[in-house]
Amino acid sequence: SSPGESPHQGGRDAMRSSIALVLCAWAAMAVLGTGITVGVSIPAMEKKCYGEQAAKMELLVVELSSNSDAKVGVSVLSPHATIFQEHDRSQVKTAFTTTEPGPHWVCISNDAQTSAEVLLKVMLGPEAKDYSQIAKKEHLEESQIALRRVEESLRSYHSNVLYIRAREERMRKTNDSTATRVIFFCLFNVVLMIGVGGWQMLYFKRFFRSKKII
């Protein structure tokens, strides 16, 4: 410690810094945290879907339980494939790592003649990990765990931003290409109309001359 500063004062400052660091970490996680927990009422012979935006190589956990032991069907869909599918289940829990970025959907179908009440929980990225086990395995302190969760949340957020930016770029290129095609099509129509109009004028001029009308 510096001259004039007691060891107790330095310890208190360090403690304040650690507490502030942990609070900032938890605040960031509250902003960046992803996942949903929702009670769903599914009418008879209907289906409902809920989606979450996921980055590539991100942990996704889906838990579902029926309040009345009703049997429902559950399917998890990636942007281009069906990842998980079960039928006639009152409880479901599955976890997997995404293989492509984009929206992932959890669909619940009720094929019974009565409505079903279910509780759906979807956890994504850092929210899906058990950090207590990680802390025990790697002997990490609470502040280190909080910082790791923030780091992974920021990494997930950054991956989603890159995906959205790439999708917007593809959409912009598609719009530009479509606009260019529309412009060329309009120009072609104008040229075609002018050409047909000129041909009609010449045809009728020759016709009237042959009939000695003009």
**How far apart, in whole angstroms, are the C-alpha atoms of residue 58 and residue 183?**
43
pLDDT in tens, the chain (214 residues): 444 444 444 545 544 544 444 444 444 444 444 568 889 899 999 999 988 888 888 888 999 998 877 889 999 999 889 999 999 898 999 998 888 888 899 999 998 888 999 999 998 877 767 667 766 777 777 777 777 778 777 877 787 788 888 889 989 999 999 999 999 999 999 999 999 999 999 888 888 888 777 6
pTM of the model: 0.57
